[in-house]
Structure 1
């Protein structure tokens, strides 16, 4: 437990400068229940997050992670390789855009080695719970996302998730559907397994709702040692999810 009170735990969010990670970082702070740390790559991003409790590190270099993980009770991993579109694509001429990954930013380096480094560092620091944000689609090696920049991103993410599931540290693996930059908390969340939700009309989820799932995973024991796909119904359909204890209790899959 953290040192500020019985309900306070020290939580590190990696990738805290990213679109999902920054939401997790902010939401955690607003709960008032955690001592929140963030890990980012640059001084510029650290300043954007306010600087307090924010560490700079490179997940591909384990030696840069030790200060950030020291004394943490929980780790939320939101780091991910990001494919970039090659310049010069003209949609009016047809064809498909080509993608690439920046140097040291390939999925093998970020989503496999980088996540493995985080898991190892957290475990060595005595971390009691690791939450990882992944993606649906990992059941299909021919998934379109794997072809982007020939990075095989879902394959490497899956490898890191499997490593986490065998690490001995209690874990929660959230495989998110298509991420939307919309308000959260107003949709009924759906839990699935084995990419079944990809065959339905409900295969998207807001980043805000993914962030909420990360935080609720820390607050509910029922989330531990479970892996699941996450999506939501469209706004206005169903009832907005508020009972996360039951949501996690209904998950039967461990990987």
Structure 2
């Protein structure tokens, strides 16, 4: 297995790269700034400089990979086009490139509540709406996929157990970014994750489950 990671230098993406490399899975990381990426990512990661707008370059960079994991997402900005360009158009470019590269599994990190149009987060230029549209396009793409919808993201890990649920089941809760990364990578090895939307949060009183059972429950 070799994995292509989009959003690799972001706060969730870099943890996905970390988990992949800890499992000795070769990684190709899409980055905008090579110097920054060298500071953040492990030395054995292959860096490809580019962005989600260049679909042809994406397909070329994915050659030889069997999995794509995307943690790319728009940053808060005054640019009202950014959620469309990153979360929707950029994700679609990744999907198209993955089809050309004959990727076996596409894991997309999305968000809880993407189906709620009147959610307050949509005040940020409809970011949840564009995430939801990208999810739908991935589902229709013909690729084997797993959509991970985490709750509020925490930079610090904790000992709480992961709770997984079907699409549009959870409406709140939080989860460390490292746990999101662990679930994303685990999905690559569990057939029970295939073609599912998996909502996740972490809760102190939840019962710990192995990865297979976690995905089977969804």
TM-score over 0.5 for the alignment?
yes
5 Å-filtered alignment, 1:180-219, equals 180-184=154-158, 186-198=159-171, 203-219=173-189
- Which residue of the partner structure matches residue 195 of structure 2? 225
Q: Structure 2: which 5+ residue stretches go unaligned?
A: none
Kindly report the root-mean-square deviation, in angstroms, between the aligned alpha carbons of the 2 structures.
1.6
Which residue number corresponds to residue 32 of structure 2?
41
Q: Where do residues 164-179 of structure 1 align in structure 2 (5 Å cutoff)?
A: 164-179=138-153
2:54 is the counterpart of 1:54: no
State the aligned residue count: 216
Q: Give per-residue Cα distances to partners, 1:36-92, cap 9 Å, x unaligned.
A: 1111111223322237411111101213313321121000011000114xxxxxxxx
The answer as to 2:195 corresponding to 1:238 is no
Query: Which position in structure 2 is the counterpart of 1:161?
Result: 135
Looking at structure 1, the residues matched to 189 and 51 of structure 2 have their Cα atoms a distance apart, in angstroms, of 28
Cα deviation for residue 239 of structure 1 reads: 3.6
Q: Is the 8 A contact 1:70 1:125 kept in 2?
A: yes
Give ranges in structure 1 of 5+ residues lacking alignment. 1-8, 85-99
Q: 1:1-255 residue pairs with structure 2 within 5 A? A: 9-32=1-24, 34-48=25-39, 49=41, 50=43, 52-84=45-77, 100-101=78-79, 106-148=82-124, 151-184=125-158, 186-198=159-171, 203-234=173-204, 237-241=205-209, 243-251=210-218
Distance 1:168 1:162 in 2: 11
Compared CA separation, residues 196 and 249, structure 1 to 2 (3 A): closer
Report the TM-score when normalising by structure 2.
0.93
| Cα distance in structure 1, aligned partners of 2:56 and 2:188 | 26
1:27–1:212 contact (8 Å) kept in structure 2: yes
Deviations 1:3-45 (A, max 9, x none): xxxxxx011111000000000001100112x221111111223
CA contact (8 A) 1:174 1:227 kept: yes
**Does the aligned pair in 2 maintain the 1:82–1:101 contact within 8 Å?**
no
Distance 1:107 1:238 in 2: 33
The 2-side partners of 1:107 and 1:221 are apart by: 31
How far does residue 194 in structure 1 lie from its aligned partner after superposition? 4.2
